[in-house]
Structure 1
Amino acid sequence: MREDLLDPRAVLLHESAASREEAVRRCGRVLVDVGAVAEPYVEAMLERERTISTYVGEGVAIPHGTAASKQDVARDAICVVRFPGGIDWDGERVTLCVGIAAAGDGHVPLLAALAEILLDPDRARTLREATEPGQVLKELT
């Protein structure tokens, strides 16, 4: 995965959220804070989540906006937000959210790269259990 996609400020490993919506909102806020997306993108992420769950297995969800929200993306980026206490995600337990912002079709290679990492149980566990941003950056770039 390209190094410029993951700003070290977009790696938060000790977060908590009371709900799936709150977790998605937190991911969106991180993407806004690093200048990757405009504010409306956060609502688009919630809209996507209401349409189809972004849970992908192994305790991981990949929240992202709708096709219509691409105009709110300033640059392709990801964020990694860990919720050590876990969140109920439609009956699944999520501890790691990888938020995606992509203009155009930038999300396709991003999702493919993430899937490759997450399909490797050891790498997925490393991400889920990371306590230092450096561990996440090393695993993803």
Structure 2
Amino acid sequence: MTNNILAKENIRLNTTVAGKEEAIRLTGSILVERGYVESNYIEKMLEREELTSTYMGNFVAIPHGTEDSKHFVKESGISFVQVPQGVDFGNGNIVKLLIGIAGKNNEHLDILSNIAIVCSEEENIDKLVTATTAEEIIAIFEGVN
């Protein structure tokens, strides 16, 4: 993943959130602040969550917008929120890592595939949950560790 898609400024470590909605709003607000998406995208992320949970297993959720939210995306980027204490995503699913995605054109498929590869390894999940610097997170996604 290139640095402009996952920059240090896109990463929040050791975060505490009150619940799933706050977690998704935070994940989306990073994308807005960093100029990847327009603010309306956050509502589309919440709408998407209502349709079907973005919980992927292994303590990971990947909040993203609905199909009709593409016009709110200015450029591809991801946000990363680490919640070591976990946040309940319903049905007993606890999330410790939120990875927000904004994909321009069809780039979200490449981004998703990179995330899936990293998150399929339990060892990587443990490292991401316990990482104390943004550089550690980026290194894991770049496969440098």
Check conservation: 1:13, 1:132, Cα contact below 8 A.
yes
Asked whether the 8 Å contact 1:77–1:101 carries over to 2, the reply is yes
Contact 1:81 1:98 in 2 (8 A): yes
State the TM-score, normalizing by the size of structure 1.
0.96
Q: Does 1:27 align with 2:34?
A: no
Question: Which residue is equivalent to 1:96?
Answer: 97
Question: Which residue number corresponds to residue 86 of structure 1?
Answer: 86
What amino acid sits opposite 2:44 in the alignment? Answer: A
Residue 53 of structure 1 and its aligned partner are, at CA, apart by 0.4
CA RMSD of aligned residues (A): 0.9
Runs (4+) of structure 1 moved beyond 3 Å? none
Work out the CA distance in 1 between the residues paired with 2:22 and 2:114: 26
* Deviation sequence 1:97-135 (CA, Å, 0-9, x none): 000001221111111111111111111211121111110
1:53-132 aligned within 5 A: 53-90=53-90, 91-132=92-133
Which amino acid letter does the alignment assign opposite residue 53 of structure 2?
S
2:110 counterpart letter in structure 1: P
Question: For residues 68 and 11 of structure 2, what CA distance do their matches in structure 1 show?
Answer: 26
**TM-score, normalising length from structure 2?**
0.93
Unpaired segments ≥5 residues, structure 1: none
Q: How many residues align?
A: 141
Distance apart, 1:19 and its partner CA: 0.9
Identity level (%): 36
